[in-house]
Amino acid sequence: MFTRMRPLCEACLGLLLAGSGLDYALAQGSDATVDVVKVESVNARTVPTTLSPQQQAQAADAAVAEATATCAAQAQALNSAKSEKDIIRATCVDDKLAQCNANLQNLKRRQAALNDSIQNNDAGSRNHEFAVIGVLSQKFKMLQQAANQCVGQDLFDTGDTKVRQEVDLFAPDADPFVVPQVPAPPIPYIPPPVSGVS
């Protein structure tokens, strides 16, 4: 009996699903909107193509200086962890410091290659080296965040703060530092209780 009803049940289930899809499509109507998300390429903000060779050299110098400061801060955090005898934190920071020093040497080699390509007027090599320097500088930012997580500094680093003031338009104009005179309250008179003796 159930084997004869199975095709009928499958047909009913198919009609139900098709009907619910049609109801959904009709409910959308003609005034449905579609959200469009703009997708940027990965290096759209970090590697502009309109920089002159001198600007690229200056940006590379700034990237090397920032990377050197990052490695120095991680070395200081490692010394602090060792002096406090915190083995877990010292191991974590030591790993990030080793990666930082290796990437710093790579960054300095890329900076030298960039300067050579600028002197040789090789635009293709210059743009390639500058793109690699941009990627390496992003790597340093990730290493700095990872080192902050090792130390626990990410709990305290809230990023750039913004102060926003709102002024109530209906606030009183009185000076809050002037204390107004408060009149003395009247002293209430309470009559004496009635005595039972006359």
Residue 169 pLDDT = 80
**Amino acid occupying residue 16:** L
| Cα 73 to Cα 96: distance, rounded to the nearest angstrom | 11
Spatial neighbors of 144 by CB under 8 A, at least 6 apart, are: 70, 73, 74
Give the percent of the chain with pLDDT over 90.
1
Distance CA 106, CA 98 (A): 13
Q: Examine the pLDDT at 24 and tell me if it is beyond 50.
A: no
Grade residue 12 by pLDDT with cuts at 50, 70 and 90.
low
Query: How does pLDDT run across 77-122, given as a tens digit for each residue?
Result: 888 888 888 888 888 888 888 888 888 899 899 889 888 988 888 8
Q: What is the pTM of this model?
A: 0.49
The alpha carbons of the chain give a radius of gyration, in whole angstroms, of 36
Lowest mean pLDDT among 43-52, 85-94, 109-118, 168-177: 43-52
Picking from 93-97, 129-133, 185-189, which range would have the lowest pLDDT averaged per residue?
185-189
Which amino acid does the sequence have at 55? Q
Average pLDDT score over residue span 157-168:
75
Which pair of tokens denotes residue 31?
């005034």
d(CA 69, CA 33): 49
CB-CB contact of 150 with 89 (8 Å): yes
pLDDT at 179: 77
Q: What's the rounded Cα separation, in Å, for the pair 91 and 147?
A: 11
**Which pair of tokens denotes residue 192?**
């004496």
pLDDT at 36 over 60: no
pLDDT top residue among 153 and 87: 87
Cα separation, 122 vs 116, whole angstroms: 9
